[in-house]
Structure 1
Amino acid sequence: MSDVIARISLPPDAGLVKSLGVNHTLESALADLIDNSIDAGAGHVIVRLLTSDERLVRVEVLDNGRGMDDQAADSAMRLGEQRAYADEDLGHFGVGLKAASFGHADVLTVWSARAGSSAVGRRIRRADFSQDFSCEVLSPDVANERAEQRSGVLGSPIGTSVIWTEIRNTYKGRNAEEARVWLANAHESLRSHLGLVFHRLISGGGLRIEIQVDDRDQFALGIGVPVLPIDPLGYPGSGHPDYPKILVATVDGEEVRLQCHIWPAKADRTGFRIGGKSGDHYQGLFIYRNNRLLQIGGWSDLANRTPQRQLARVVLDDLSAVSTLVAMNPEKHGLKFEPMFHDAVGHAIAEDGTTFEQYLRDAEAMYVTANRRKHSRKPAIAPDKGFAPQLRRIISNELPLISGDALRLQWKRMPSDEFLDIDFSQRTLWLNSLYRHLFAPERGSLNDAPVLKSLLYLLTHHVFEGQHLGVKDKDEIELWKSVLGAAAAAESKMRESKVDD
């Protein structure tokens, strides 16, 4: 006799909305939105970080994908909607849009237009959604206006705009400089993360991502800066003559290919060092799904993280062979493997007999050998006023800095035949404001012209690091003043002649 007397349906309580996205960083959340854009066939995505009084108040993600009609928009806003995912789709759970958005904002607005259909708009307010899953249907007329605005940016009204307002996770203090630093750090982290996660798609030419950071009331005048691909295996030459090497693990009758790499020990470059963090943070597994990076380093209990293993990176491209042994979290920034996978990797072997343990020993040996003869860079004067916060941070990551004095770089009016001047006693490098428009054509600011200032810092910092200016220092300064003064005057005349033409 059966003990079942009835079957009932238990829909989720709307209160679960409050927990959506709690594990999302800003970077992982925006990457999740871009996944949706890619699944919709977008080749161009623009991310806007819009501010008011230096605080982040609005985030927009615009794409030129297929867009949505009414039915598709309703499905996209429904929690846990399980559409028929194709093998090449990056979407997986049906919660990405909502979780990514509510992890950082209290209001989610979506405007979209599909070819042959009327433009649509939907808005979810987190407080309402957590009560009854309610969604606002927005005016088609306004949706058409948003489509035209999107066309002005992306060249076509077809596509989707995802907008976050009432942002929660941002700097909330009263210090404007702290707010600027927070935003600069967020911008740099976002560029690095997107450039890494989507590096294959960007390098292949199928995806262009731009990030625009600007004041909310001025963003229409701004220009997005392209995200550059960051290849975690983009070394110029292998750090070990026998690598990369393929190790094959057999999991439940399926062969899994592990591409094992060893970075060169002294390759202090982007790709090894990512987003201001050293390569030590990125040892381990790099796992892709449809050319989208899902796991960025970490050994997933296959091995322990140690400084000696920082040159070791293992690529796993095909998750289908171990799909039953893998659990992916909704934020798509890590995978969990069943013990059977760990056992299989432990027994993985290359054609020449190399095992996974031998691979780790080879990587450790290259690091230890190179570390014995590691050369340290000479300490340099710290950059200060006039250098953007992110620029100061990068310089401090690259060079040991002398405590005490710091170098300022400022603009002032000078004779037209001069471009720079050095005030050694005040540790200040002066630039001629007559030529500021050449490097900051739209509007000058304290932290403008970062490329110029970086080059000048690298050129001149050593003259500020002694107790006085020697004969050689003075001769170098005169050389810089003569050459750069003439170059700036020539550049200004060339620009003026083009305008006259």
Structure 2
Amino acid sequence: MDDRDGVRGPVVRRGMTDWQFDVPTSGSKRLRPDARYMDALTSQGYGFEVAIADLVDNSIDAGAQDVVVHFLRDGDHLVSLLVVDDGAGMDESALDVAMTVGGRRDYAADALGMFGTGLKSASLSHATALTVVTKTKRSRPIGRRWRMEQARTDFLCDIVEPDYAQTLLDRYADRPITWQGTVVRWDGVKDFPKHGDLGQTDRYLHRVIDKLGLHLGLYLHRFLARPDFNITIAVEDVRSGVVYMEYGVEPLDPFGYPMPGRPGYPREFRANLGDVGELPLAAHIWPAKSSMPEYRAHGSVLERQGFYFYRNDRLVQAGGWNGFRQPEQHFSLARVAIDLPVHSGDLFRLTVKKAGVETAPIFAVAVEESADGDGRAFVDYLGDAEGAYREARKRAGVERKPVIPPGMGFEPALRKAMDAELPFVEGEEPVSIRWRFIDADTFFELDREDHVIYLNQQYRPTLLGGRPGGLNDLPLLKALLYLLLHKVFESEMQGPRERDNLALWQSILVAAAKSEMGLIES
């Protein structure tokens, strides 16, 4: 180095001029995983509902149509939890791969599984023992069992006795297993009450099953909306065989509002991701002040807004802006549905628990520069969402009075829309609407005691205009009548003004119906 003129020359590191690009080796040595590897595998923060959802993903990948999440109790004590499906099952080699710690298999492009760790890490995060019993149409029943204390020491997986494997599968014959299927059994579940009385166990079950139903209903809502897929949650006493609870999980569509919060929505924006191509962004605005579980059932107001990522129709992130912007109260009505591309390189990285997506910086830039078919920018969508929120805040001083809810005879979608707009009186018999033959000069009759609106059957064929009738027919007519008449059932007395209104509506509706039938000349 010469610094006589203040200039430093190049530094030569002696002995490094013979750099080898390939590292030479002189053999191999097998190093067994440390016992703490299992603790690391099972300490990834799997929540209870997330872990069960991971097992149901496996059932879906196996082509299951029916999945049962079964809590087993012995009196006051919960003893086991099982996830049972009627999927294709596994043969011996496939089961060994599934139960191998770090075992990987080739996943189809549309599979929900990705990493090959979910069954083990999700299960052993919550149970001290994991048993899997399975059967295909062409193979005999087989089973494997991991016990946590054994997995920590020697990585030996137990082989389940074939007779027991058959017995366990037979226990679920036709509910849901027919010719094939899989049973995943958890024992020593850490969250189960240890020394609870009957009341504590029941309270635990109600709380956990409610949360589990909401989680499965949300993250698997596209599958549950299909007519050929069902999830049932049940509780059974192992001694008496009594089933204490049994209910089907309902889909909870985070975009399932009856009417958008802003006209013209949803709108599709397209984000340019370079080599990956254009990514559609389905931008939605929820109606303000919605009480629907699809809007309120998960997370806080700040957590629910933002991006909803789907992978192969499975929701993998419910809300959050992924660095695009900070969550704020006035964007609480904004939700964007995004179906992840099959091949996206490192742009999107799914977490192992499938409960979040990490996005590359280019994603936020692409969203900001995205536009819809009319040339509207994504920032305009955010402005519309904010405007819908602020307009609703201005109307917040107007409080709607609770009403008796609609019941039988009203189309489900109509009842859903009314539920989103109106607070309902709790504990009251709903207002139903039915058809029957009554006097020709009467369009409707009211049964105030039983909350029934009877419509005149004589006018029904004309109003239907040749369309087939049914229990929930003519929703527009029924909606208008409900809005006119619901107050009649909410008041104890009929005053002169109310009686006059009823006579007025009766007269005009009869005249309109007869005119529709051609019985009154213009």
* Equivalent residue for 1:92, pick from 82, 90, 114: 114
Out of 162, 181, 184, the position equivalent to 2:206 is 184
Q: Which amino acid aligns with 1:290?
A: N
CA contact (8 A) 2:76 2:197 kept: no
Secondary structure in structure 2 of the residue aligned to 1:345 = helix
Identify which of 161, 178, 181 aligns with 1:156. 178
The aligned residue for residue 310 of structure 2 is: 288
Residue in 1 that maps onto 2:482: none
Alignment pair present for 1:335 and 2:357: yes
Q: Residue 49 of structure 1: CA displacement?
A: 1.9
Question: CA 1:42/1:174 → structure 2, altered by over 3 Å: closer, same or farther?
Answer: closer
For residue 40 of structure 2, what is the aligned residue in structure 1? Answer: 19
* 2:323 is aligned with 1:272: no
- Tell me if the contact between 2:309 and 2:315 (Cα under 8 Å) persists in the aligned partners: yes
Provide the residue aligned with 1:262 in structure 2.
Answer: 285
The secondary structure found in structure 2 opposite 1:336 is strand
Q: Distance in 2 between matches of 1:170 and 1:348?
A: 48
CA contact (8 A) 2:129 2:186 kept: yes
Alpha-carbon separation, structure 2, partners of 1:221 and 1:184: 14
Q: Tell me how far apart the structure 2 counterparts of residues 337 and 46 of structure 1 sit (CA, whole Å).
A: 34
Task: Pick one of 337, 349, 352 that aligns with 1:315.
Answer: 337
Check if 1:299 corresponds to 2:321. Answer: yes
Q: What are the Cα deviations for residues 431-462 of structure 1, in whole angstroms up to 9, with x where unaligned?
A: xxxxxxxxxxxxxxxxxxxxxxxxxxxxxxxx
Matched with 2:13 is none
Deviations 1:323-347 (A, max 9, x none): 4211111111101111121221121
In the TM superposition, what whole-angstrom CA distance separates every residue of 1:76-109 from its partner, at most 9, and x where no partner exists?
1001211111101111001110011011101001
Residues 1:210 and 2:232 aligned together: yes
- Residue 113 of structure 1 aligns with an amino acid whose one-letter code is K
Q: How far did 1:219 drift?
A: 4.7
Per-residue CA deviation, residues 451-474 of structure 1 (Å, 9 max, x unaligned), is xxxxxxxxxxxxxxxxxxxxx989
**Per-residue deviation, 1:317:** 1.1
Q: Structure 1's 258 and 21: CA in aligned 2 closer, same or farther, altered over 3 A?
A: farther
8 Å contact kept, 2:126–2:191: yes
One of 367, 373, 386 as aligned partner of 1:364:
386
SS at match of 1:51: strand
Q: Secondary structure at the match of 1:373?
A: helix
Would the aligned equivalents of 2:234 and 2:243 in 1 still touch at CA under 8 Å?
A: no
Map residues 407-446 of structure 1 onto 2, 5 A cutoff: none
Whose radius of gyration is greater, 1 or 2? 2
Q: Report the count of equivalent residues.
A: 388
Equivalent pair of 2:126/2:189 in contact (CA under 8 Å): yes
| Match of residue 39, structure 1, among 58, 61, 70 | 61
Shift of 1:318: 3.1
Q: Indicate whether 1:121 and 2:147 are aligned.
A: no
Residue 63 of structure 1 aligns with which residue?
85
Per-residue CA shift, 1:341-372, capped at 9, x if unaligned? 12211211222232222222211110111022
Farther off after superposition, 129-138 or 2-11:
2-11
Q: How does 1:190-269 map to 2 (within 5 A)?
A: 190-219=212-241, 221=243, 224-253=246-275, 254-269=277-292
- 1:50 matches 2:72: yes
The aligned amino acid for 2:292 is R
Q: Supply the distance in 1 between the matched residues of 2:493 and 2:164 (Cα, whole angstroms).
A: 64
The aligned counterpart of 1:5 is: 24
Structure 1 position 32, deviation (Å): 0.4
Q: For residues 358 and 71 of structure 1, do their structure 2 counterparts lie closer, same or farther at Cα, with a shift above 3 Å needed?
A: same
Given the two structures, how large is their TM-score scaled by the length of structure 2? Answer: 0.69
User: Hey, what's the Cα distance between the residues in 2 that align with 1:250 and 1:69?
Assistant: 44
> Kindly, what percent of the aligned residue pairs are identical?
36
Q: TM-score, normalising length from structure 1? A: 0.72
**Is the 8 Å Cα contact of residues 44 and 207 (structure 1) preserved in structure 2?**
yes
Q: Which amino acid aligns with 1:258?
A: L
**TM-fit CA distance, 1:35:** 0.6
Deviations 1:1-50 (A, max 9, x none): 52623164656434211123431111110110011111111111000122
Give per-residue Cα distances to partners, 1:206-244, cap 9 Å, x unaligned: 311000024343456456311111111011111111211
Could you tell me whether the CA contact under 8 Å between 2:169 and 2:177 is conserved in 1? no
Q: Residues 79 and 220 of structure 1: is their aligned pair in 2 closer, same or farther, counting only changes over 3 Å? A: farther
Matched to 1:48, the amino acid is: H
Does the 8 Å contact 1:77/1:98 carry over to 2? yes
Q: Alpha carbons of 1:195 and 1:378: their partners in 2 closer, same or farther (altered >3 Å)?
A: same
Q: Distance in 2 between matches of 1:474 and 1:133?
A: 77
- For residues 269 and 90 of structure 1, the distance between their equivalents in structure 2, rounded to whole angstroms, comes to 28
The C-alpha deviation readout for 1:288-308, integer Å capped at 9, x for no partner, is: 111111111111222211221
CA distance in structure 1 between the aligned counterparts of 2:197 and 2:391, rounded to whole angstroms: 47
Q: Give distance in 1, aligned partners of 2:291 and 2:423.
A: 12
Distance across 1 between alignment mates of 2:77 and 2:359: 40
Closer/same/farther in 2, CA of residues 94 and 128 from structure 1, 3 Å limit: same
State the distance in 1 between where 2:241 and 2:41 align. Answer: 30
Q: Is the 8 A contact 2:98 2:104 kept in 1?
A: no
Find the aligned partners of 2:255 and 2:172 in 1 and give their Cα distance: 36
Unaligned runs of 5+ in 2: 1-17, 403-421, 428-490, 495-522
Amino acid at match of 2:172: R
The one-character-per-residue Cα deviations of 1:44-67 (angstroms, maximum 9, x if unpaired) are 100012234545431100000111
Q: Structure 2 vs 1, CA of residues 206 and 87 (structure 1 numbering), >3 Å: closer, same or farther? A: farther
1:373 to 390, 395, 399: 395
C-alpha contact 1:15 1:131 (8 A) present in aligned 2: no
Matches of 1:247 and 1:474, distance apart in 2: 55
Unaligned runs of 5+ in 1: 380-397, 401-406, 408-471, 476-501
